[in-house]
Amino acid sequence: MKKYLHLLLYIHLTASLSACQPHLPVKQSTSTNKHTMSDKQAYYSRTDTSQLVLKDEEWKKILPDDLYQIARHANTERAFTGKYWDYEGLGTYYCAACGNALFKSDSKFASGCGWPSFYESIRPTSVKYHEDKSYGMIRVEVVCGRCDSHLGHIFDDGPPPTGKRFCMNSISLDFEGDEEKAPTGNAK
């Protein structure tokens, strides 16, 4: 009986850790997710929700290579390597490619899968869904509702109230803490 329980635990852990897999190696750039390139500033907005359509060549020019490979070619960063997988700050997560608001930190939870996990998006149009039949699996891909950048996948094993687990790539996310939004100084 003990052997059986150990086998079940091993199978469960293996399945949990590979839920968002497979991943391809991505060369990490030395840049941060806070992009400041002047080219990018023309497209990056945390308030504009209109559809953003750019040619692949333009995305390649304005995004760092690691973000480009994931956002535009549906690559995946390795589990437990992204900066937000266990981050607990309070605030808002945005699309790193275009600035679209995606998730609030109060919908983030510790799933143990190695990627940041959320149970709901900030608004229904923040993300879109596509069937993904790559690598011999059937999954649901999650892309940005504004620029169609690959964010990750969604699974039906999340907590209440939705039962969903948005399993996202950290590199596809920018984060702004609530304290960063608060006005500073004395208002007159």
Cβ–Cβ < 8 Å for 69, 59: no
Please name the residues in contact with 119: beta carbons below 8 A apart, sequence gap of 6 or more: 107, 109, 158, 159, 160, 161, 162, 163, 164, 165, 166
pLDDT at site 180: 74
Model confidence at 179, in pLDDT bands (50, 70, 90)?
Answer: confident
Note the pTM of the prediction, 2 decimals. Answer: 0.78
Q: Which of 20, 95, 98, 167 is catalytic?
A: 167
pLDDT at site 168: 98
- How far apart CA 81 and CA 19 sit, in angstroms, is 15
- 20 classed as catalytic: no
Domains in the chain with CATH codes: 52-178 (2.170.150.20)
Poorest-pLDDT segment among 1-15, 92-106, 128-142: 1-15
Q: In this predicted model, which residue has the larger pLDDT, 2 or 32?
A: 2
Give the mean model confidence (pLDDT) for residues 9-33. Answer: 42
pLDDT at site 37: 44
Q: What is the Cα 123 distance to its own chain's centre?
A: 15
Q: What is the tens place of the pLDDT at every residue in 63-79?
A: 999 999 999 999 999 99
For residue 93, give the nearest of 182, 176, 11 by alpha carbon.
176
Q: Does 183 have pLDDT greater than 60?
A: no
Q: What is the tens place of the pLDDT at every residue in 149-170?
A: 999 999 999 999 999 999 999 9
Report how far apart, in Å, the C-alpha atoms of 45 and of each of 94, 110, 111 are.
10, 28, 29
